[in-house]
Structure 1
Amino acid sequence: MTDRPAPIRLDQCLTQLVAARAAAQGGVVRRRTCAIGQIVGNERFLAKLDRRGFRAVENAGRTVVFCNRAPVRVLR
């Protein structure tokens, strides 16, 4: 049997995301999409991104958050 980490509070999860070094430097943060939905909830997560002006994309079960207000362009 494996030990599971203590459950994380919703606000704590969102705070950790935007407090990440990459976020502070306008970089990129990657999270598992299912974890976002289970821990925070997609609508609450997207509302947080909107308030900060961040963009996000989803691919292969991962959500990539661009922690700046620059436009995102999908190349291919």
Structure 2
Amino acid sequence: MRDLPLPVTPDRWIVQIFSAKSVAEGGIVRRKVRDVERLIGRRRFLYEAERRGFHVAENAGQFVIFCNQEPVRLLV
């Protein structure tokens, strides 16, 4: 019988996503909406992003997290 990996906890998922290299560099990260909702829930995800001063956009089933506090402008 194969050992299955343990599912990631919501707290561990938050640590993993917000410790990515692109986050530290003030870049962007994207995740599938369905994965976020399944693993930690929309409310918790948005709370964690807002707590860090980040902006989050949703489009075509993806969350795009702008990992800085600069204004976000849609140009076209």
Larger Cα-atom Rg = 2
* TM-score (norm: length of structure 1): 0.89
The CA distance in 1 between the partners of 2:56 and 2:47, in whole Å, is 12
Structure 2 residue identity aligned to 1:40: I
Structure 2 residue identity aligned to 1:31: R
Structure 2, unaligned stretches of length 5 or more?
Answer: none
RMSD: 1.5
* TM-score (norm: length of structure 2): 0.89
Structure 1, unaligned stretches of length 5 or more?
Answer: none
**Paired residues, number:** 74
Runs of 4 or more, structure 1, over 6 Å off, are: none
Q: Percent identity?
A: 42
Give CA deviations for 1:28-57 in whole Å, capped at 9, x if unaligned.
Answer: 001001100110111111110111000010
